[in-house]
Amino acid sequence: MKLPALTAEKIIKILIKKNFEIKRRKGSHIQLEDNEGRRVTVPIHPGRKIGRGLLRKIMRDAEISREELIKLLKEV
């Protein structure tokens, strides 16, 4: 199954649902962190989707599986 094309806003909502919180914003990037110290940086570019390669990197950094991403996407 292919990864869905998502906007940065959707990805941030999914990460917040996964107990990440926004730690800082610098320019067009938002950095989120969870209780265990995992950090994820998401670029914000209005009107553009996040590429699949970058989405896989974000998923790896946040330790989210493909199935978990799809499940959280349905809840957001």
What integer is the mean pLDDT of 70-75?
Answer: 90
Is residue 3 very low, low, confident or very high in pLDDT (cuts 50, 70, 90)? confident
* Res 47: pLDDT: 86
Question: pLDDT at residue 13 above 80?
Answer: yes
What integer is the mean pLDDT of 8-37?
Answer: 94
Question: Is the backbone of residue 47 left (phi > 0), alpha (psi -120 to 50) or beta?
Answer: left
Alpha carbon distances (Å) from 39 to 25, 48, 53, 70, 76: 13, 22, 18, 21, 21
Domains of the chain, start order: 6-75 (3.30.920.30)
Question: pLDDT at residue 28 above 80?
Answer: yes
What phi and psi values does residue 36 have, to the nearest 5 degrees? -90, 0
Count of CA atoms in the C-beta half-sphere (13 A) of 23: 14
